[in-house]
Every structure is written in C-alpha cells, then in structure tokens.
Structure 1
Amino acid sequence: MTTLFDSAPGFDQPIAVLKHCHDRIRKQIATLDKLLTHLPVHGADQDARQAAQAVLKYFTQAAPLHHEDEEMDLLPALETTATQEDAVLLKQLLPEIMKQHLQMTAQWSNLEKQLRQIQEGSSAQLSALDIRHFSDMYLHHMELEETHIAPMAKRILSDVQMQRLGAAMRARRGISPDTP
C-alpha cells in the first residue's frame, strides 16, 4: 500500500534515522533560502513568521539531539569497534566532526537571534552571509558523515550495537520502547 506521506524510519534502523535527520536539515536549509527571497518582498508576514518558527524549532530541539546521538553513542561505538583502515580513517575524521559540531552551533546562534525577531514580527532582516556559512557547514558535514561514517557503521557495527544505538536515540527523545 502506498502512503500519502513519507514516514520516518524506526529506531530499529538508527542509521536510517540519522539520515532522515539529515534530510530534514536539508529541508530547513531550503526554508532559510526561501526566507531570503520572501522577506524583502513580504516582510515578516504570517508565512515568514511560521517559516522562522519551524526552522527555530528544528535547530533548537531536534538538531542538538542528532549531534548528541553521534557524539555520545554512534562515534564511541565506532571507536571501540573500528580496526585497521577504519580505525585510521575514524582517527582522522573524529576531530573534524566534533569541530564542525561546535562551529555549526556557534553559527546557529547568529541565525537564531535573527529568526526569533522574524518569528516575533519585529524584523524582516536575515543575513544571506550567515545563512550561506551555516548551510555550507551543514552540507559539508552531512556529506562527510554520509560518505564515511554511515557506511562504516552499517558495515562494522553488530546487530546488538545497532539495537543499543537505536535504544539510546529513542531514550534521548523520551520515546517509550512500546511506541511504534
């Protein structure tokens, strides 16, 4: 049966959940780009305020959980499991991934202030440069993870490790194991 909407993967597929998060980040970045063209014409109208609210909600609630999934569970599991070439690659990538998380968080604080003003209707100003920096950082970061980290995880983590990862991600979000 075909559904009318895309459903998120379950936590029994934690790497697919992380990829789904990346897809949602791409949608929020697209919304930021749309806001750049919308605001000069329409100002902080209802559509702009709703768009700002959606982006704010995602990057203040879901994105930090996604980073915690990686930092607290996925990357440590990979570190304890990786051998040979995987261990060498991971040793190279981990500092970069952690640095990127910090940089994206710092860049988000610039955008968050602007988006809150748009959400409140008190400003229609949004920095194209701030959005470009934020977008470029996130897109590069997601490419790195999707090219190297996710395939490695699928290849080397055991079923038990994947179950632990999914359970930790579910718990972090306060979702009961009984919830489908």
Structure 2
Amino acid sequence: MNMIHIQPTVHAQSASWAQPIEMLFACHGRVKNFCRQLGMLPDYLAKNGINQAVKNDVKQIITYFNVAAPLHHEDEETDFFPALLRYVPQAKADILKLEAEHVGIHKIWAQLGVQLQELIDEKRTGIEQNLLDDYRAAYARHIALEEPLFELGQKHIPAEQLTAMGKIMAERRKIRK
C-alpha cells in the first residue's frame, strides 16, 4: 500500500505542452503532492518500517526531483521568466529571488536525495527531520511566490509565444530521455 494516493490536480488533468503555463502549474501540483508524501514519511516509517511500498513511493519521489523538477526550473529560467520580463518588467525582483531559490532548493535536495536513496538501500531507517522540513518549506515559499507570476504570464504573454514556448519545453524532455 502506498503512503498516500496522489490525486491529479485540475491543472494536471488538462495540461498539455500546447499550454505551457498550465504545465508549469501541473508540475507544481506534483511537487505539492510529493512534498506531502515526504511530510508523511517519518510517521509512516515509525509505524511500518521500510517496506516495498515505501521503497516504491520513495523511488518515484527521487525520480521526480532528480529529473522533472530540474527540467521544470530550466523551463522557467530559460523560457518563461525571460518571456514574462518582456511583458511584465516589474516582475524582475521576484524572478531574481525565484532563480536564487532554485539554487537553494537544489542544494537541499542534494542532501535529502542521498538520504532517501540510502533509505531505499536500507542503509538508514529514517530521514533527518530538519532537512525534510527545510525542503518542504522551501518549495512551499517558492510556489507561493511563483504561481502569481504564472497567472501574469497567462494574461500578458501572447498566445503564439506561449505555443512556441511549449514546443521548446516539450523538446527539452525528448532530448533528455
């Protein structure tokens, strides 16, 4: 049995690369769900120990934050943020803060990801709570600052530019496979 069932968000149910901002929102939905699972992990381990179900869930989390999350950040930094700045230059301070947060989130993940892999490999029985809390809090703050910018992008970036952006983002994933 899984720690928690991941329910697709509204954005995830309808998102496609033809609507790249919806895909960015959908990615945040997955991040929120995986962070919720991470928050449940210590109690689950205390009650059930390391079993195949937890290993399966943790493998999914590791894969997501090793592969999809960095691609998502690259989408933002390479494609979305520059486009948004063209139409909403007053977003620059928030964008600079978000880019710095990406670096911080990746640093925390570098430590947390190792601990999660060690958990799967049964080299440890738990995760450092402060590291887990820091990671979840960093993403919560990050998403709260970033999603209003997604909404600005939906309002101000022309549809043809969004379409082109979506094609670039989709291609990025084909290249990385």
Q: TM-score, with normalisation over the residues of structure 2?
A: 0.88
Per-residue CA deviations over 1:72-125 (Å, capped at 9, x if unaligned) read 00001112233xxxx22x121121011100000001011101100111122212
Shift of 1:145: 1.0
Which residue of structure 2 lines up, in the alignment, with residue 12 of structure 1?
18
| 2:5 aligned residue | none
Alpha-carbon shift at residue 9 of structure 1 (Å): 1.0
Q: Which of residues 32, 36, 42 in structure 2 aligns to 1:36?
A: 42
Which residue does the alignment assign to 1:178? Answer: none
CA separation in 1, counterparts of 2:109 and 2:126? 16
Work out the percentage of aligned pairs sharing the same amino acid. Answer: 27
1:100 aligns with 2:106: no
Does residue 80 in structure 1 map to residue 81 in structure 2? no
RMSD: 1.5
Question: What are the superposed Cα offsets for residues 110-147 of structure 1, whole Å, 9 maximum, x if unpaired?
Answer: 11011001111222121111111101110111111112
Distance 1:59 1:8 in 2: 22
User: Structure 1 stretches of 5 or more lacking a match?
Assistant: 176-180
- Output the CA distance in 1 between the equivalents of 2:48 and 2:123: 13
Contact kept? 1:28, 1:55, Cα under 8 Å:
yes
Paired residue total: 165
Cα deviation, residue 8, structure 1: 4.9
Aligned to 1:141: 142
Q: Distance in 2 between matches of 1:28 and 1:158?
A: 32
Q: Distance in 1 between matches of 2:30 and 2:141?
A: 15
* Residue equivalent to 2:126: 125
Does the CA contact (< 8 Å) of 1:115 and 1:126 recur in 2? yes
Could you tell me whether the CA contact under 8 Å between 1:44 and 1:122 is conserved in 2? no
Match of 1:174 in 2: 174
**Stretches of 4+ aligned residues off by more than 6 angstroms:** none
C-alpha separation in 2, matches of 1:132 and 1:126 = 10
- Classify the secondary structure of the residue corresponding to 2:174: coil
Partner of 2:113: 112
Matched-pair contact (CA < 8 Å) for 1:44–1:123: no
* Structure label with greater radius of gyration: 1
Moved more, 121-130 or 69-78: 121-130
In structure 1, distance between residues paired with 2:14 and 2:77: 22
Determine if contact 1:35/1:51 at 8 Å carries over to the other structure: no
Query: Do the aligned partners of 1:78 and 1:153 also contact (CA within 8 Å) in 2?
Result: yes
Residue 165 (str. 1) matches residue 153 (str. 2): no
Shift of 1:58: 0.6
Secondary structure at 1:122 match in 2: coil
The secondary structure found in structure 2 opposite 1:7 is helix
